[in-house]
Every structure is written in structure tokens, then in C-alpha cells.
Amino acid sequence: MSETPMPMRARAVIDLAALRANVTTLRARAPRAQLMAVVKADAYGHGAVRCARAARQAGAEWLGTATPQEALALRDAGDTGRLLCWLWTPGGPWREAVEADIDVSVSGLWALEEVSAAVRASGLRARVQLKIDTGLGRNGCSPEDWPELVLAAREAEAEGLVRVTGIWSHFACADEPGHPSIQAQLRVFKDALGYAERQGITPEVRHIANSPALLTLPETHFDLVRTGVAVYGVSPSPEIGTPEDFGLKPVMTLSASLASVKRVPGGHGVSYGHHYTTPGATTLALVPVGYADGIPRAASGTGPVLVGGKWRTVAGRVAMDQFVVDLGGDSARVGDEAVLFGPGDRGEPTAEDWARATGTIAYEVVTRISNRVPRVYVGENVNENEIAEDVDQS
Ligand SMILES: *Cc1c(COP(=O)(O)O)cnc(C)c1O
């Protein structure tokens, strides 16, 4: 990674070599299962197309997205491997998804009916994965309605409209090791699998594990693990451990170029509301990113930033486009790099540090970085006939 800041206001450097290494590490932790790299929400803010391609290069058999639009965008970008999307609403693009060879999740009869109607008389056969709510209380078919959904799916298979390729579920508390809901959900999942199999459903893949389950609960791996946050080298929770504990490397480094550095006297108010006042004569540095870039306003007075080799703290409020740090009298030059978070190799804070400082989870810290911040890709696999470093301004 370059030590000198690039001449842009701010950038999120995305280390695709780290991402590929993370996928390799994660595959080794689930040796009997296939791996699905979850690239929803623009790959948790890292850039879906580039990250999907890197994950495939490292052997991800599956990609996963929440919305069908996200899945279709990957097809438009040229991805041809197995791909599942799960967040459907009535009237969704079932026909387009089936034509694009996307596996679609079905959590209720209405969805099975819509996808069946979309392919009826087309000669197409939809690949559907039945989702059971084993206790998360979010999406998925309730255990009471499961027999009805399974029987309807069998009928749709018999009619040649669908093929049930998967049965799956999602954990509520896999990031809290030892939580009693984990075993309870596994029991419900196994019952649901048993029922479906007795009715003649023969899924290719049974899956329930997300990143924390992949990392800590081998008995949950089944045929496929769906891993998102760990692919990006971010820890699912402090209870699970740090990325390094699992040999994972953070993929995103967020930095900005100082836009102003100036001496001010003691007693000088800083930023909206004057919630920070300089305790004495000092140097203030202006970091030109704000909440429109995805910097949480909750970082006001708390967010850590590396400037000139030292950790500083956001002084006063985070504004829409900028915030200030007090350099405590140290000097700096405009254009110097302020590193908000990264792998920590250069002493910078991590996404986990930002999560702790702002009362959220590291997932949100990386995912919310907005499109105003250009992504700069490094470590692209050069076999791919592309330049190794380039900027996506979209
Ligand atoms: C987001 C998501 C995942 C990935 O979760 P991580 O904790 O990031 O690994 C897996 N499955 C479903 C259904 C999801 O929505």
C-alpha cells in the first residue's frame, strides 16, 4: 500500500489480495462445506463487482446478495457462478432472476406462487431455496407453516416449475458464543430438514452458518457457509475475537488528506455547537470527510484518527463534509494523510475501534462509507488483464 496519500480528498483503499487471502483462510476453516461470499450492500461498502470477482478467484463457489437487484447487477458485470438472493417482496423480478440463472429464496407460499407463475409456460425451471425461520424472528417460513410450504414446493417440482436447490436458515445470536438460542435453532433446522427430506425434497445445499458460526461453530457448517463480514477482514463481534485471531486481514483502509492546518489560541470553540474548546494554544487539522461520507455523527468527540503517527480524537461535532482534530500543538501540513481506520499495520485504528467509539458494530462502520468516497483497488489479481491499481469513482 502506498505510504503517500493520493491526491484526492479522501479514499477507501480496498486490498483485494487481503480479500482473496481471507476467502482462502475461511475455506480452510470449513473444509467440508462450500463457501458463499456475501456481497450485499455493495460488498459491505467495499465494491460488489470487484470483491465478487476476487472472491471467485479465491474459490468462492457461491455469491450471496440480499436483493434481486444486487444479484442481477453481478450478472450484468459478468459473474456466471452460483448466486443466491433472499430479500424478496411481492412483484419482484422473479422472471429476470430465473433467466439470469440466479437461485432465489422462498420464505412463504406467496413467493413460491409468484416464482411459479413467473416461469409457467416458459420452459424455464426456477431454482428455489426454502428458508425456515428457526428462531431469528425475521424472514423465513415459520415452523408451523413449513409443512404446507414444503408440500407446495414438491408439487411445483412435480409440475416442472421449480427445483428446490437449498434449505436454509439464519442465526440470531451466533456472535454470542454459548447463547442457548444457537442449539435451539439447530434443533429446529434439523427437524425442518428431516421433514423436507421425508417429503422427497433433495436439496443440493443445506446452510445456516454466517461468519460467526463459520468461525466458532463447526457443527453448523452443513454443505455451505454464508460469510460476509469475515471476508472483509472485519470481526463479527468483540466476543468472537479480533480479525487477527482468525488470520483475517481488514480489506478497507479509509483515509483523507488534511484540508487545513492552523494555529489557534486556547479557548477557541471548534465545529457546530462549540462542543469542543481548545484547552490551550494548539494546532487544529481539518479532515475533509463527514456524515455524508458515512462518518457517524456519533463519532463527535470520540472517533479515533491517526495523524502524524499519533491517535487523535474527533474534536467537536462531525459535520456533513468535515471534522476537526486537535493536534495538541504538533505540526502537520495540509495534504498530510489522516487515517481513520485500516488493518492497523501502520498503527491506525481499526473498524472495530470505530465501532467501540461510536456505539455500533464494525459491520456498520465499513458498510456506511458512502459513494462520495472513491474506492481505490489494490492487489487485483493481475492475471485478470487489468491494471493493478485503479480508482472507481462511481
Ligand atoms: C448478511 C447475511 C449473511 C452474512 O452475515 P455475516 O455475519 O456478515 O457473515 C448471511 N446470511 C444472511 C441471510 C444475511 O443476511
Report the nearest atom of ligand 1 relative to the CA of 174. 7
**Whether residue 3 has pLDDT greater than 60:** no
Catalytic residue among 249, 272, 363, 377: 272
Are residue 32 and residue 167 in the same domain, yes or no? yes
Query: Which pTM was predicted?
Result: 0.95
Report the nearest atom of ligand 1 relative to the CA of 212. 7
User: From the CA of 287, how far away is ligand 1's center (Å)?
Assistant: 33
Report the nearest atom of ligand 1 relative to the CA of 363. 8
Reported as a single tens digit per residue, the pLDDT across 59-73 is 999 999 999 999 999
Give domain status of residue 239, yes or no.
no
Are residue 227 and residue 256 in the same domain, yes or no? no
Are residue 77 and residue 212 in the same domain, yes or no? yes
Reported as a single tens digit per residue, the pLDDT across 90-119 is 999 999 999 999 999 999 999 999 999 999
Q: Which residues, listed in sequence order, are joined to residue 282 by a DSSP beta bridge?
A: 264
Are residue 273 and residue 195 in the same domain, yes or no? no
**Whether residue 9 has pLDDT greater than 50:** yes
Q: Pocket around ligand 1: residues whose beta carbon is below 6 Å from it?
A: 38, 40, 66, 86, 170, 210-211, 226-230, 236
75 annotated as a binding-site residue: no
CATH number at residue 370: 2.40.37.10
For residue 206, what are the domain limits?
A: 16-232
Are residue 212 and residue 275 in the same domain, yes or no? no
Interior angle at CA 106, CA 103 and CA 110, nearest 5: 135
**Whether residue 387 has pLDDT greater than 60:** no
Are residue 213 and residue 274 in the same domain, yes or no? no
The confidence band for 86, taking pLDDT boundaries of 50, 70 and 90, is very high
Are residue 45 and residue 178 in the same domain, yes or no? yes
pLDDT for 2: 47
Give domain status of residue 48, yes or no.
yes
Catalytic residue among 40, 131, 249, 276: 40
Give domain status of residue 168, yes or no.
yes
Are residue 363 and residue 292 in the same domain, yes or no? yes
Ligand 1 pocket test target in 19, 38, 361, 364 with most atoms within 8 Å of CB: 38
Give domain status of residue 311, yes or no.
yes
Contact 363, 235 (CB under 8 A): no
Residue 172, helix vs strand vs coil? coil
User: From the CA of 266, how far away is ligand 1's center (Å)?
Assistant: 48
pLDDT for 136: 97
Reference 358, options 321, 304, 315, 307; nearest CA is 304
Q: Count of domains in the chain?
A: 2
Q: Is residue 294 classed exposed, middle or buried when 0-12, 13-18 and 19+ CB atoms within 10 A define those classes?
A: buried
User: From the CA of 366, how far away is ligand 1's center (Å)?
Assistant: 15
Give domain status of residue 241, yes or no.
no
d(CA 173, CA 212): 9
252 annotated as a binding-site residue: no
Closest Cα to atom 12 of ligand 1: 170
Reported as a single tens digit per residue, the pLDDT across 237-276 is 999 999 999 999 999 999 999 999 999 999 999 999 999 9
pLDDT for 5: 54
d(CA 200, CA 389): 50
Domain boundary (232, 262, 295) is at: 232
Are residue 225 and residue 265 in the same domain, yes or no? no
Contact 172, 136 (CB under 8 A): yes
Reported as a single tens digit per residue, the pLDDT across 142-175 is 999 999 999 999 999 999 999 999 999 999 999 9
Active site residue 40: yes
User: From the CA of 130, how far away is ligand 1's center (Å)?
Assistant: 16
Contact 134, 169 (CB under 8 A): yes
Give domain status of residue 213, yes or no.
yes
Are residue 268 and residue 169 in the same domain, yes or no? no
Give domain status of residue 247, yes or no.
no
User: Across the chain, what does the average pLDDT equal?
Assistant: 95
Domain boundary (174, 197, 232) is at: 232
Give domain status of residue 237, yes or no.
no
Are residue 201 and residue 306 in the same domain, yes or no? no
Closest Cα to atom 15 of ligand 1: 66
Are residue 195 and residue 258 in the same domain, yes or no? no
**Whether residue 322 has pLDDT greater than 50:** yes
CATH number at residue 131: 3.20.20.10
Cβ neighbour number for residue 211 with a 10 Å cutoff:
27
